[in-house]
Structure 1
Amino acid sequence: MAEQWQLEGDYVEACNCDVTCQCIWLEPPDDNVCTVSLVWHIRDGRYGDIDLSDLSVGMLVSTETGVMFAPDTGWNVVLLIDEAADDDQRAALEDIYFGRAGGIFAPVADTHVESAEVATVPVTFDRNGADLSVEMGDVVSMAVVGKRGFNEDLGTISPHPLTKSREMQTGKSTTATVTYDDEFSWDVSENNSYFGDFELANA
């Protein structure tokens, strides 16, 4: 039986969609494929008795053509784990993010993931309100600014699946590059980003 887990912290994503990610409304992404980097900085987290606080996790996703969450759309995934994690912490994070421990990632793994691999990288994650920056070794470089509208209010998006509140803030990437291999190599700078606080658990 999987251990109970809960994670809270900061989240940011940057994808190839120009203005806003259509996946939220189950519509095809720009260019009919999704290339996205997702990063979680865990401020407070546990997997059973294993403390996961102050670690970061990244996920690179490259999809087949079509709506990202359509049942027949396959994903290729690379999981990037903070090199600060010890063996037990790394195993726990793999169990969570590959869906083996239940929660939101279980149906994603069962329905969509066609291939998956893991790499360990050094991580720098900085957040100052609506400004975020992430460096994950030589693989991910991301800088995001919040997008404001009328009355200088920060935009929000809902329903976003990756937090308990279902709400994230809208942003724009000033830098969003990935360099891993031929499939996971892109520059989607100056495009859509979502970010905010996240809270996830399997119970």
Structure 2
Amino acid sequence: MSIPWSMEGEYAHACSCHSEVVNSSPGTTPAALSCKLALTFRIEMGHFGAVPLDALAFAVVAATPGALARGGWRLGVIVEERANLAQLQALTRVASGQAGGPPARLGQLTGQFAGVERAPIFFVTDGARCRVHVPGMLDQIVEGLASRERPGEFLAIDCTVPTADPPLALAHAVRNVIHCFGIDWGDDPAAAPRRDGHFARFSWQGEAI
């Protein structure tokens, strides 16, 4: 019997790729490079069958051996420590792509599942800035790119990606540190503003088999 699930909330992403928007130097596209990334989600409302997921957070951390679309990712999941066992199992299935819906694409790209960790997850948004902090594992700040034509607003695009809903805010990583699942990235502060980042709302639905 399939299990219907849904969740909605806020999403933030930071990775080791040079931002094509921020970095104006020619020949610096990250398309063919390896990448270390973290996607963090704060659920406002959600459920997995009869299991409530409201007000929980989780992160997907991955390293790719080459271009993202080629697959072979090493992927691990961090689930907020407040989750009970049923919630932990539900979020692990969703985040690893095993429960269908938009994250299924992540499952298709994964070559090695590195496991699950439980930890406190702090996800704070303040206007055009979003910070994710998981003690000893993640410390990331992404900052929206200011619009030159509309003061007080930041750049966004209306494209749809599997992990988020449009509009997708364009941002750069002011800080990006990853130390978990055998994946390590500590950005040079001088280079960090040139690293890629995004934040947006997300709304997912699926059926786990």
Mapped contact 1:144–1:171 kept (Cα < 8 A): yes
CA pair 46-20 structure 1, distance change in 2 beyond 3 A:
farther
Tell me by how many angstroms 1:45 deviates. 0.8
Residue 129 of structure 1 is matched in structure 2 by 127
Residue 13 of structure 1 is matched in structure 2 by 13
Q: What are the equivalent positions in structure 2 for 1:1-203 lying under 5 Å apart?
A: 1-20=1-20, 29=30, 32-65=33-66, 67-70=67-70, 73-109=71-107, 111-116=108-113, 117-151=115-149, 152=151, 153-157=153-157, 158-163=159-164, 165-180=165-180, 183-188=182-187, 189-190=192-193, 191-202=195-206
The runs of 5 or more residues in structure 1 that have no matched partner are 22-27
1:96, 1:180 → 2: CA distance?
A: 20
The runs of 5 or more residues in structure 2 that have no matched partner are 22-28
Q: Which residue identity is paired with 2:171?
A: G
Instruction: Give RMSD over aligned pairs.
Output: 1.9
Mapped contact 1:16–1:30 kept (Cα < 8 A): no
2:64, 2:185 → 1: CA distance?
A: 13
SS of aligned partner of 2:86: helix
SS of aligned partner of 1:202: strand
Alignment identity in percent?
Answer: 22
Tell me by how many angstroms 1:142 deviates. 0.9
Mapped contact 2:166–2:200 kept (Cα < 8 A): no
Normalising to structure 2: TM-score of the pair?
Answer: 0.84
1:180, 1:161 → 2: CA distance?
A: 24
CA pair 10-107 structure 1, distance change in 2 beyond 3 A:
closer
- Alignment: residue pair count: 191
Normalising to structure 1: TM-score of the pair?
Answer: 0.86
2:95, 2:134 → 1: CA distance?
A: 17
Tell me by how many angstroms 1:30 deviates. 6.0
Name whichever of 52-61 and 125-134 sits farther off.
Answer: 125-134
2:140, 2:106 → 1: CA distance?
A: 24
Mapped contact 1:62–1:184 kept (Cα < 8 A): yes
1:13, 1:20 → 2: CA distance?
A: 15
Residue 25 of structure 1 is matched in structure 2 by none
Tell me by how many angstroms 1:131 deviates. 1.3
Mapped contact 2:40–2:59 kept (Cα < 8 A): yes
Runs of 4+ in structure 1 over 3 Å off: none
